[in-house]
Amino acid sequence: MKNHLLSRRTFLNQSVSGLGSIALTSLLAQKGLLANDPIRPLIDPSRPYAPRPPHFAPRAKNVIMIFCSGAMSHVDTFDYKPELVKRHGMPLPGAADLITFQGAQGNLVKPLWEFKPRGQSGKMISELVPNIAEFADDMCFIHSMTAKSNTHGPAENQMTTGFILDGFPGIGSWVTYALGSECDDMPAFVAIPDPRGVPQSGSRHWNSAFLPAVFQGTAFNASKPIPNLIRPASVSESADRGTRNLVKLLNERQLAEHPGESDLAARIASYELAARMQIAASEVGNMAGESKATLDLYGVNDSNENKAGFAKNCLLARRLIERGVRFVQLFNGSYAMGEGVGNWDGHKTIEKQYAVHGPILDQPVAGLLQDLKARGLLQDTLVAFVTEFGRMPTFQKGANGRDHNPKGFTVWLAGAGVKKAFSYGATDEFGYQAAERVSSIYDLHATILHLLGIDHERLSYYNNGIERRLTDVHGHVIKDVLA
């Protein structure tokens, strides 16, 4: 008992932390039980977004995760399979009785867009994304990714939170819980929904679940600002100042009466931070200062409204990273309008649907890569391009589209700490199943955390009886992709 309290006091002395610390202290009393003791981030409640040291020297400081909602087809974009072209119109061997998400299979169908060699490396990438393809020499592909679920919601959950079930924190929340942020007048974790709407799993991507609410992602984009950021029109600037002054006076009085209450100090700090955030977050969304060349690079003024909207979001991502925001999750595709209309799903008429979605994605993402590179931001920023799962190399029986396929698909990384012009793992000759160096979403998460200087096995949070991790009880850093 005595030891227990001593541990607790030591901990509090180090951390001044109110956040969940009480649940943790008794665990510290059991020190030695776990092979790898969790490393607790020391969080000052008054400065929750302050930078915190990683577990070891990081290769990347911040992350942009581009998330393609609806499940992008790997065989039509980044995973080139000559055998699939050759066997076009023939059955997928061994798939006679195969039932995937929506049912039985038709025949193999070659990529709907032609693949061409790109860059010095000659990496084959399809004409659906010709602008992104220009960066082949900067990209690091993982072709052997696998997912646990083949339905959209659970699979989106897994790619972001590691779990297919609802109610687990996303990678953005985990990272900002561990590391804080390099700028403390902005939310540390920003989720940028597509201009067409939110992805199927919606706020599950940016809810902090059982992590403290301060690590929720703040969802806003170029057209929809942070809710409640702006002073209401009916309140004059001086009235607002008057309100805040009285709040400050009353709150400081409370703190004086209850010295040492970290919550009371934190509240005073939170109102000061809020005032700074009002300025900083309004400024970040204002793109007036960007040159025409930059705007055109992204396609911000494109006549295609959805493309222009997504381009603005890509530019917003750069501006956030530039200011030191730790984690940006940038969504392409929404579920607001159902299959094929607003996202990368494509069961029935995939060619028609992708012809719409390809151009919305391509130039803005390429522009972002180009801009990050030109400004030297790619040195410290990791870009991770992910989706829910892949799609079948076959068409569905009686349809002109590809069914869900969690058995093998492609994600790619670029920027800080990863190899350039590198491809890791492979699917089989048709692109159906991961066959070489099969990797999991846990591995991907472990690798991203590793690049940020975090040991995925030691970043945990005690909830309902379990030390919860982003990677559950799995995951290995994919060392081969590290530069």
Partner 1 sequence: MNRLRPSAWPYRDYVIRSLNEDKPYDQFVREQIAGDQLGADEGTGFLVAGAWDQVKGQDPALRANQRADEMHDLVSTTGSTFLGLTVGCARCHDHKFDPVSQVDYYRMRGIFEGVQHAERELRPADAEKNQKKTENMRQEIAAIDATLSRFQPKAQLTKRVLVDDDLPPPTKPDAIGCVQIEQPANGKPIDYSPGTEAGQLSDLGDSTRLPNLGESYRYWSAKTDESGKNFFSWNPRVSGKRRLWLSWGAWTTHARYILDLDGDANTKDDQKEIASVDQSKFADGSGAIPQQKRWSGFKYAGTHVLTKDSILILRSGKLGGPTVADAVLFEEAADAQPASQPHLRAPVTHLANHESFDAVKAKFVRFTIHATNGGQPCIDELEVFAGGKNVALAKHGAKVTASDVFADGSNSIHQIAHANDGLYGNAKSWIAKGAKGWLQIELPREETISSVVWSRDRAEKGKAFQDRISTNYLVEVSLDGKAWKAVASSADRLAVDYRERIRDVPTLSGVTGENAAEVKKYSQRRAVLQRELKELTSFPMAYLGKFEQPGPTFRLHRGDPMSPKEEIAPGGLSQFGAKLDLAKDTPESERRVALAKWLTDSKNPLTARVMVNRLWHYHFGTGIVDTPSDLGFNGGKPSHPELLDWLAAEFMKRGWSLKEMHRLIMNSAAYRQSSAAHDAGMLADSGARLLWRFPTRRIEAEPLRDTILAVSGVLDLTMGGPGFDLFEPNDNYVKVYQSKQEFGTDTFRRMIYQSKPRVQLDDTFGAFDVPDAGQIAPRRTSSTTPLQALNFLNSTFAMQQAGLLAARLEKESGKAAEAQVKRAFQLAYQRDPRADELSASTHLISEHGLAMFCRALLNTSEFMTLY
Nearer of residues 114 and 283 to partner 1, judged by Cβ: 283
454 interacts with partner 1 by CB under 8 A: no
130 interacts with partner 1 by CB under 8 A: no
Residues 417-436 that bind partner 1 (CB under 8 A): none
Q: Which of 57, 250, 256, 293 binds partner 1 (CB under 8 A)?
A: 250
28 interacts with partner 1 by CB under 8 A: no
Nearer of residues 200 and 294 to partner 1, judged by Cβ: 200
253 interacts with partner 1 by CB under 8 A: yes
Phi, psi of 282 (to 5 degrees): -70, -40
166 interacts with partner 1 by CB under 8 A: yes
Nearer of residues 42 and 268 to partner 1, judged by Cβ: 268
Nearer of residues 261 and 436 to partner 1, judged by Cβ: 261
Quick check: 34 and 473 in contact, CB under 8 A?
Answer: no
- The percent of the chain in helix, strand and coil, each rounded to the nearest 5, is 35, 20, 45
Residue 186 CB, shortest distance to partner 1, in Å, is 10
Quick check: 60 and 36 in contact, CB under 8 A?
Answer: no
Of 198, 202, 211, 122, nearest to 168 by C-alpha is: 211
31 interacts with partner 1 by CB under 8 A: no
Joined tokens for residue 164: 């297919």
19 interacts with partner 1 by CB under 8 A: yes
Instruction: Give the helix ranges, DSSP H, for 258-392.
Output: 262-284, 292-298, 305-322, 350-374
Residue 213 CB, shortest distance to partner 1, in Å, is 4
Residues 68-107 that bind partner 1 (CB under 8 A): 99-103
Q: What amino acid occupies position 283?
A: E
Four-residue CA torsion sign, 155, 158, 164, 167 = negative
Residue 9 CB, shortest distance to partner 1, in Å, is 8
CA 304 to chain centre: 25
246 interacts with partner 1 by CB under 8 A: yes
List, in order, residues 6 or more apart from 271 with CB less than 8 Å away: 244, 247, 248, 251
Q: Which of 90, 279, 337, 483 binds partner 1 (CB under 8 A)?
A: 337
Please give the radius of gyration of the chain, using alpha carbons only, rounded to the nearest integer: 24
Q: Which of 88, 271, 282, 355 binds partner 1 (CB under 8 A)?
A: 271
135 interacts with partner 1 by CB under 8 A: no
Q: Which stretch binds partner 1 (CB under 8 A): 72-80, 301-309, 312-320, 331-339?
A: 331-339
Nearer of residues 264 and 360 to partner 1, judged by Cβ: 264
6 interacts with partner 1 by CB under 8 A: no
Distance CA 443, CA 439 (A): 6
Q: Which stretch binds partner 1 (CB under 8 A): 165-173, 287-295, 357-365, 417-425?
A: 165-173
Q: Which of 36, 93, 213, 223 binds partner 1 (CB under 8 A)?
A: 213
Q: How many of the chain's residues bind partner 1 (CB under 8 A)?
A: 101
DSSP states along 164-212: SSSS---HHHHHHHHH--S-TTS-SEEEE-BTTB--TTGGGGT--TTS-
Q: Which of 270, 304, 379, 433 binds partner 1 (CB under 8 A)?
A: 270
Joined tokens for residue 302: 């494109």
Helix (H, G, I), strand (E, B) or coil at 440: strand
Burial class (CB in 10 A: 0-12, 13-18, 19+), 421: middle
Phi, psi of 87 (to 5 degrees): -100, 20
* Residue 57 backbone class (left: φ over 0; alpha: ψ -120 to 50; beta: rest): beta
249 interacts with partner 1 by CB under 8 A: yes
Quick check: 481 and 450 in contact, CB under 8 A?
Answer: no
Residues 342-401 that bind partner 1 (CB under 8 A): none
465 interacts with partner 1 by CB under 8 A: yes
Residue 359 CB, shortest distance to partner 1, in Å, is 24
Q: Which of 94, 289, 338, 376 binds partner 1 (CB under 8 A)?
A: 338
Q: Which stretch binds partner 1 (CB under 8 A): 105-113, 159-167, 298-306, 382-390?
A: 159-167
Joined tokens for residue 300: 């911000």
Residue 46 CB, shortest distance to partner 1, in Å, is 8
Residues 136-155 that bind partner 1 (CB under 8 A): 149-154
- Quick note: the x/- pattern for partner 1 over 174-203, rule CB under 8 A, is -------------x---------xx-x-xx
